[in-house]
């Protein structure tokens, strides 16, 4: 931190923050006297054995809080539980600095810690993760370590909230929350001293009120399926999906069909009332297909069991045509009727994506999600 400490203290006192997270402080035991901020409790995790790095968290002194420490200093992260006052729930705040050269073993230690704390309380996680190759819009990454990070984020139901670049054309500083509406008013801007990292400011909503969902969806009963089918059929799916991974291909497919749906479902005056509707397949287990019809590619063909199975377009088309249109939509917002009505033109892109999924062993994040609604039962 060096001469930035005085500037940090001035900003904190002026803005009256309740919680302040700092990464890469370069502190050691010699900084014990200078690291404190008046009116705040300090939690810190210094790098062990060499200079640099580190993570720290300042919390208003009137908050009752406790650090969770598993004694493993191989990762530069800390977890602090802040107890809620009155009828407000406790929250967990995590701060992490991940060096760009951190190995996979240290990453797995962090993922284990994250998995444990995310199951306990509502979580806010902020840090410098040094993973510039991740595309957060499509949830894709070039490097294996980055893909493993994305997998961990999905497994713990975290939402990444930083939408802007934070350092030299990259998004290195990230902010995650575990509940919808739990973290808001995220702003990026301003640097501390001569730092090349942008500061992130956000609001933690300590108590999220339960409200009536007002999310609008497309009314497919008004759809012009003839026009819809014609627009989808014009896309050269084989060419546009070539070279794309499963997640990237699915996201492109979903985005394109969404735009076409907006053109064919609503009238001009109704479009202002429609929010964002995405698309996902919601296959019903109640189809009229026999088991042998659903999985012909898995049958033993002349004993060649080691050949890569081929996704048959006829099978995909048959499944689409037998979807139950009375089923509700999945988390992405597509109605099964769309898949059934457009089965003829959707068979090709879906077959390509399914084949890529089979070959790589990966699936889009959308396919791992589900809407779960608890139903109260008397007694």
Predicted local confidence at residue 151, as pLDDT: 92
Domain of residue 320, residue span: 220-299+309-368
**Mean pLDDT, rounded, for 188-208:** 72
Say if residue 104's pLDDT is above 70: yes
> Last residue of some domain: 152, 174, 204?
204
In a domain, 14, yes or no: yes
Is 50 found in the same domain as 169?
Answer: yes
In a domain, 142, yes or no: yes
In a domain, 214, yes or no: no
State the chain's mean pLDDT as an integer: 76
Cα of 226 vs its chain's centroid, Å: 35
**Range picked from 78-82, 213-217, 254-258 for highest mean pLDDT:** 78-82
Is 88 found in the same domain as 119?
Answer: yes
Predicted local confidence at residue 212, as pLDDT: 47
Percent of the chain with pLDDT over 70: 73
Is 265 found in the same domain as 122?
Answer: no
Is 31 found in the same domain as 116?
Answer: yes
Q: Which residues contact 56 (CB under 8 A, 6 or more apart)?
A: 21, 22, 23, 25, 27, 35, 42, 43, 44, 45, 78, 95
More confident position, 69 or 353: 353
What is the Rg, in whole angstroms, of the alpha carbon atoms belonging to the chain?
25
Instruction: Return d(Cα 223, Cα 226) in angstroms, integer.
Output: 9
Is 259 found in the same domain as 143?
Answer: no
In a domain, 378, yes or no: no
Tokens (6 digits) for 370: 């589900």
pLDDT in tens, 67-90: 887 667 788 889 999 887 666 778
| Predicted model pTM | 0.53
Is 135 found in the same domain as 37?
Answer: yes
Say if residue 172's pLDDT is above 90: no
User: Where does the pLDDT of residue 193 fall: very low under 50, low under 70, confident under 90, or very high at 90 and above?
Assistant: low
pLDDT in tens, 47-68: 766 666 788 898 888 888 888 8
Say if residue 213's pLDDT is above 80: no
Cα of 308 vs its chain's centroid, Å: 32
More confident position, 327 or 331: 327
Predicted local confidence at residue 51, as pLDDT: 67
In a domain, 377, yes or no: no
pLDDT in tens, 296-330: 444 444 555 556 678 888 888 888 888 887 777 77
More confident position, 31 or 36: 36
Q: Which residues contact 153 (CB under 8 A, 6 or more apart)?
A: 160, 176
Contact assessment for residue 254 and residue 332, using Cβ atoms and an 8 Å cutoff: yes
Is 42 found in the same domain as 158?
Answer: yes
> Last residue of some domain: 145, 179, 204?
204
Is 173 found in the same domain as 244?
Answer: no
Is 243 found in the same domain as 181?
Answer: no
Tokens (6 digits) for 318: 């048959």
Is 188 found in the same domain as 62?
Answer: yes
Residue that the structure tokens 């377009």 belong to: 313
In a domain, 376, yes or no: no
Measured CA to CA in angstroms, residue 182 lies from 67, 123, 207 at distances of 21, 9, 8
**Mean pLDDT, rounded, for 214-238:** 77
Say if residue 198's pLDDT is above 90: no
Domain tally for the chain?
Answer: 2
Contact assessment for residue 94 and residue 123, using Cβ atoms and an 8 Å cutoff: yes
Give the lowest-confidence range in 124-128, 136-140, 151-155, 209-213.
Answer: 209-213
> Last residue of some domain: 204, 228, 248?
204
pLDDT in tens, 123-149: 999 988 888 889 988 889 889 999 999
């Amino acid at each position: 931190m060096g001469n930035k400490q005085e500037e940090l203290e001035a900003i904190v006192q002026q803005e009256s923050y309740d919680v302040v997270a700092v990464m890469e402080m370069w502190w050691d035991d010699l900084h014990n006297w200078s690291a404190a901020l008046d009116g705040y409790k300090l939690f810190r995790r210094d790098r062990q054995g060499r200079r640099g790095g580190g993570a720290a968290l300042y919390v208003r002194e009137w908050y009752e809080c406790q650090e969770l420490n598993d004694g493993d200093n191989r990762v530069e992260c800390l977890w602090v539980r802040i107890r809620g006052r009155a009828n407000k729930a406790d929250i967990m705040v995590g701060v992490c600095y991940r060096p760009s050269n951190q190995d996979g073993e240290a990453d797995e230690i962090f993922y284990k810690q994250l998995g444990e704390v995310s199951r306990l309380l509502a979580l806010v996680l902020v840090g410098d993760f040094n993973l510039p190759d991740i595309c957060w819009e499509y949830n894709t990454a070039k490097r294996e370590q980055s893909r493993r990070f994305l997998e961990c984020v999905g497994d713990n139901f975290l939402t990444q909230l930083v939408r802007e670049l934070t350092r030299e054309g990259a998004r290195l500083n990230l902010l995650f929350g575990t509940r919808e509406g739990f973290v808001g008013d995220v702003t990026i801007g301003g640097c501390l001293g001569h730092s090349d990292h942008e500061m992130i400011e956000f609001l933690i909503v300590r108590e999220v009120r339960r409200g009536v969902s007002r999310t609008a969806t497309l009314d497919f009963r008004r759809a012009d399926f003839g026009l819809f089918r014609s627009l989808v059929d014009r896309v050269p799916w084989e060419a546009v999906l070539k070279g794309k991974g499963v997640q990237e291909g699915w996201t492109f497919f979903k985005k394109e069909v969404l735009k076409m749906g907006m053109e064919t479902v609503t009238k001009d005056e109704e479009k202002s009332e429609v929010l964002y509707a995405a698309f996902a397949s919601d296959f019903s287990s109640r189809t009229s297909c026999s088991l042998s019809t659903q999985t012909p590619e898995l049958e033993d063909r002349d004993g060649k069991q080691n050949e890569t199975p081929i996704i048959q377009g006829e099978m995909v088309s048959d499944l689409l045509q037998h979807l139950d249109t009375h089923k509700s939509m999945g988390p992405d917002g597509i109605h099964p009727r769309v898949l059934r009505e457009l089965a003829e033109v959707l068979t090709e892109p879906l077959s390509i994506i399914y084949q890529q999924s089979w070959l790589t062993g990966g699936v889009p994040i959308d396919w791992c999600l589900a809407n779960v609604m608890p139903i109260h039962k008397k007694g």
